[in-house]
Structure 1
Amino acid sequence: MGDEQTMTFYTYHYLNTSQGNWQYARIIVLSILALIFMIFLIHYLRNRLDVKYKDLSIIVGTLLLLILAMQYDDFSSMQSATKQTGQITTVVKESAARLKISPSRVSINSTSQNANLMIKTPKGFYRIDYNSDGTQFVLEKVALHDPNNVTVKGES
């Protein structure tokens, strides 16, 4: 008995919602920090003799700048991931249209564009075979060795 690996598929809904949630959380954290910074700064400007607000403004401002620097660093990788997820969802929609089923009933085995894409549908498993320049693809029905060893993320 060898080690069996589970093949993971991702639903259309999972692909559409997975990227957005983390981005919204980052925006909320940055907004809260910016608001706190503004409150401390206003308190300091009103009471110039009370240095605790100045110190708190400096601490929160530094934290805000640090988080903004990390955001800037992650920006290009987030853009790339969002673009790849968009490409994958397009493949799911086109595959569903060719098989005449709803995209919500199609799952794909990757969150990024690669050469070994497979989809899981109620009609079976299909391998996506791209042409040489990667602009078009055909669906080839395949039989998995162990179709029970499949997990689907985003399935309700």
Structure 2
Amino acid sequence: MTFYTYDYLKSSQSNWQYARVIALSVLAVIFILFLIHYLRNRLDIKYKDLSIIVATLLLLVLAVQYNDFSAIQSSSKQTGQITQTVRQVAKRLELPPEKVSVNSTTQNANLMVKAPNGFYRVDYNADGTAFVLEKVELDSSSRIKVEEAR
């Protein structure tokens, strides 16, 4: 079972989105440069072709970004919810949030918490607005792995 630390959850919220923004910016700059070069030298058709190719790639990346926009928003919201849950659990256990780990990056019905004093199951009420911590014992065959922020 893999557990994720509070720092890991906070750092993983938006790191990978920067790569997409950088790729989009680089493609836009390359497209503008090829387009300017083509407009200066209209007889050199290779820059027109390169501009069309880069523009097509740019549109493709924009389409993928737009398609993933709702998924990114949902993921970001869920990660924000789980970090809030970690803070609440840490407060109930009278620990700093950095000492608490959870077994999921999204809020779900089978959430387990690893704290220095043991393992807990988070049991939510019907509408998911409140929860109860229940101490559990894991059997010795359970493999525990903790993912920490790098």
Whether these two folds match at TM > 0.5 is yes
Give the Cα–Cα distance (whole angstroms) in 1 for the partners of residues 11 and 103 of structure 2.
Answer: 16
For 1:26, the equivalent position in structure 2 comes to 20
Q: Aligned letter for 2:48?
A: K
Offset of residue 69 of structure 1 = 0.7
Contact 2:11 2:149 in 1 (8 A): no
Offset of residue 99 of structure 1 = 1.1
Normalised TM-score (structure 1): 0.90
Structure 1 vs Structure 2 CA RMSD: 1.5
Q: Return 5+ residue gaps in structure 2 as ranges.
A: none
For 1:129, the equivalent position in structure 2 comes to 123
Of the three residues 107, 112, 115, the one matched with 2:101 is: 107
Q: Could you give the per-residue CA deviations for residues 104-152 of structure 1, whole angstroms, max 9, x where no partner exists?
A: 1110011111111110011211111111221111111111112762101
Structure 1 runs (4+) deviating above 3 angstroms are: none
Q: Aligned letter for 1:104?
A: E
The reply to whether residue 83 of structure 1 matches residue 77 of structure 2 is yes
Q: Aligned letter for 2:24?
A: L
Q: Return 5+ residue gaps in structure 1 as ranges.
A: 1-6
Q: Aligned letter for 1:30?
A: L
Instruction: Count how many residue pairs are aligned between Structure 1 and Structure 2.
Output: 150
Q: Secondary structure at the match of 1:134?
A: coil
Give the Cα–Cα distance (whole angstroms) in 2 for the partners of residues 144 and 118 of structure 1.
Answer: 11
Normalised TM-score (structure 2): 0.94
Q: Could you tell which deviates more after superposition, 144-153 or 125-134? A: 144-153
